[in-house]
Amino acid sequence: MTTPDLAPLLAGTQRSLEDIGEPLSATTFVVVDLETTGGSPDSSGITEIGAVKTRGGEVLGEFQTLVDPGAPIPPMIVALTGITDAMVYAAPRIEQVLPSFLEFLGDAVLVAHNARFDVGFLKAACRAHEYAWPGNEVVDTLVLARRATTKEEAPNKKLGTLARVFGTEVTPNHRALDDARATSEVLHGMLERLARFGITHREDLDSLRNPMPERLRKKAVLAEGVPSKPGVYIFRGPRGERLYVGTSKNLRSRVKSYFTRGEQRRQIREMLELAVAVDTQVCATEIEANVREVRLIEEHRPRYNRRSARPERTTWVKLTSEPYPRLSVSRAIAGAQGVLGPMRGAGDARAAIEALELAMSLRTCTTRLPLVPRPLARACLLKDLGQCSAPCQRGADSGYAQAVDAARSAMMEDPSPVVEALRVQIAEHAARLDYERAAELRDGVSALIEGAMRGQRLESLRRVSLVAARRSGDGWDLVSVSRGLLAGSEHVAGQVWAAADRLRDAWATLDVAEPLIEEQEMLARWLERPGTRLLHVDGEWAQSVNAAGRHASWVSARKDDHAKVVDSRRSAVSY
């Protein structure tokens, strides 16, 4: 039967058995129905649960139980369902039923008629009794019916009406299991009808729940030539311009989803309107895809990418290059006498600056001071408060150089002196009930430590070339890093050392560029994950580790959770 309201929705969609995704014939559905004492899970309880598990139209199992709602069942509900207080008197409570039902559900697609009602009650019960809701995909047959039936054949979309339309063997009767059986028959009747319009895979169901405009659905053909492999995809505009860059473990499925899954983001909808082509770059590993993404975004600045779009906005704290340096927030660090960061933002940078100025008695004025103080130069109030050695007045005799050296050491090596100096002040402010000021100083110390840790971590990465491996699926992901750059990656099922040798040999041909901060941090996170093994390292490894760690004992607690195993042909060293 042709349904007039469905054809426009699905026009322009080209499907085949090669479409990526789980075929609906192989999808496991659990159709559930509840009987309750009322309409709200906040004030009502469940009296019966019925569920049917199916796959490919075959019934795999059924679940049915009465439930003691813990309160009398209203007469109107008794008349509707036939479930009385006497019937549920000896029934289990919902907290006893939930474990069995959740086990029956497993990872199947959860189906219900007017799913908001049934799923709402189940979620509320899980919350009330501290069970984690599994988050299964939910299909509402009420929503599907609005797409799969006409107004003439089904003036309303009640379960009883749909059961008549699809000729179900079981008649709904407001008892949970029978209603679940009828809903299951209705579901398969609708799926059989919808298959003629290309709804053949699990992922296609979302296009019915969140329909895309016809003009965008027609563009789903852009995914036809996309490989079903991990990598990077680039949407291009009518002039060949790069509109948007993204990554996926399955490029074909991800690109198709933009046109079939009811994209709600306004800017992405606008991008899809402009897109005329999709380019892809297949990658051997997920980390390679992520790195390529940030490199492409930095190089081409796609209009619709927000994340990673402006790496030059990275914030640092630096000591200015002048006779009597001061601290400043900066986007560029060339020529700085000392650097802290990268920071997570300008707010963290300013908080760290305040902590350093207070602990190290650095000047806070922004005037560029001459090497020799001017005659009759006067110092500000900070000198009288003992918070500045007044180089503006005393010049080289002020001891300001020692304060700068201490600040540089705290920024680039060990922030412990700042932590210790401000610890007392934080405690004093807290004792005076000045919690706001204590919190400001605490946040400044935290920002300083975080910035120093990030800086040392990335500096260590820039000093080393290595090949690392980690288990992934049925094989190994191998990653080559050189001077903070991703030099290459492979996924292999065997011959790990041969692949590692190939990646190591590529170091010599690497055209070294300045690595992006985001790329370095991605690589650092990958290397720090448990189970990572280092197969090759260059001759500077030991010096790199020692230089980065010599003054960084304060980082050890943060690294305990990310212990890495150094594994070579000759030795295995943990650090």
CATH of the domain at 234: 3.40.1440.10
For residue 138, give the CATH number of its domain: 3.30.420.10
Total of domains in the chain: 4
Taking only the tens place, the pLDDT of each residue in 303-336 is 888 766 566 678 888 888 888 888 888 887 766 6
Give the per-residue pLDDT at 71: 94
Give the per-residue pLDDT at 460: 85
Whether 86 and 222 map to the same domain: the answer is no
Per-residue pLDDT at 543 exceeds 70: no
More confident residue, 180 or 337: 180
Whether 319 and 372 map to the same domain: the answer is yes
Per-residue pLDDT at 23 exceeds 90: no
> Edge-to-edge strands of the sheet including 28-36?
58-66, 46-55, 28-36, 109-112, 138-140
Per-residue pLDDT at 209 exceeds 80: no
For residue 546, the enclosing domain spans 463-574
Ranges of H-type helices in 46-90:
75-81, 85-88
Whether 200 and 227 map to the same domain: the answer is no
For residue 258, what are the contacts with CB-CB under 8 A and spacing of at least 6?
Answer: 268, 272
Whether 493 and 409 map to the same domain: the answer is no
More confident residue, 571 or 382: 382
Give the per-residue pLDDT at 10: 37
Per-residue pLDDT at 505 exceeds 90: no
From residue 527, alpha-carbon distances to 188, 239, 293, 490, 520 in Å are: 48, 40, 19, 15, 11
Give the per-residue pLDDT at 546: 40
In a domain, 1, yes or no: no
More confident residue, 362 or 382: 362
Q: With cut-offs at 50, 70 and 90, classify the pLDDT of residue 526.
A: very high
The rounded mean pLDDT for the chain is 82
| Cα gap 343→356, rounded to integer Å | 14
Per-residue pLDDT at 45 exceeds 50: yes
Tell me which of 111-125, 175-189, 498-512, 523-537 is least confident.
Answer: 498-512
Give the per-residue pLDDT at 189: 93
Give the per-residue pLDDT at 266: 81
Give the per-residue pLDDT at 312: 63
**Amino acid letter at 198?**
G
Whether 89 and 176 map to the same domain: the answer is yes
Taking only the tens place, the pLDDT of each residue in 105-128 is 999 999 999 999 999 999 999 999
DSSP letter for each residue of 228-281? SSSEEEEEE-TTS-EEEEEEESSHHHHHHHHHHS----HHHHHHHHH--EEEEE
Which residues face 232 on adjacent strands? 247, 281
Angle, helices 141-148 vs 176-194, to 10°: value is: 40
Q: Which of 309, 338, 370 is the last residue of a domain?
A: 309
In a domain, 2, yes or no: no
Q: Which helix (H) or strand (E) holds 496?
A: helix 496-505
Give the per-residue pLDDT at 2: 38
Average pLDDT over residues 530-557: 56
Whether 68 and 196 map to the same domain: the answer is yes
Whether 97 and 217 map to the same domain: the answer is no
Give the per-residue pLDDT at 222: 86
Whether 190 and 249 map to the same domain: the answer is no
Average pLDDT over residues 287-314: 83
Q: Which of 252, 279, 309 is the last residue of a domain?
A: 309
Q: With cut-offs at 50, 70 and 90, classify the pLDDT of residue 35.
A: very high
Taking only the tens place, the pLDDT of each residue in 377-425 is 676 766 656 667 777 767 666 778 888 888 888 888 888 888 888 888 8
The active-site residue, picked from 113, 129, 174, 562, is 174
Per-residue pLDDT at 43 exceeds 70: yes
In a domain, 280, yes or no: yes
Greatest pairwise CA separation for the chain in angstroms? 104
Give the per-residue pLDDT at 211: 64
In a domain, 38, yes or no: yes
Give the per-residue pLDDT at 397: 64
Question: Residue 429 catalytic?
Answer: no
Give the per-residue pLDDT at 382: 67
In a domain, 344, yes or no: yes
Whether 217 and 292 map to the same domain: the answer is yes
Whether 76 and 170 map to the same domain: the answer is yes
Whether 216 and 291 map to the same domain: the answer is yes
Give the per-residue pLDDT at 122: 96
Q: Which of 182, 205, 228 is the last residue of a domain?
A: 205
Taking only the tens place, the pLDDT of each residue in 437-486 is 899 899 999 999 998 888 888 888 888 889 999 998 889 999 999 888 89
In a domain, 191, yes or no: yes
Average pLDDT over residues 227-247: 93
The answer to whether the CB of 97 falls within 8 A of the CB of 67 is yes
Whether 63 and 154 map to the same domain: the answer is yes
Question: Would the pTM of this model clear 0.75, i.e. be above it?
Answer: no
Q: Which helix (H) or strand (E) holds 491?
A: strand 485-492
Give the per-residue pLDDT at 12: 39
Give the per-residue pLDDT at 563: 31
In a domain, 273, yes or no: yes
> Vertex 360, ends 356 and 365: CA angle to 5°?
75
Lookup: tokens for 37:
């004492």
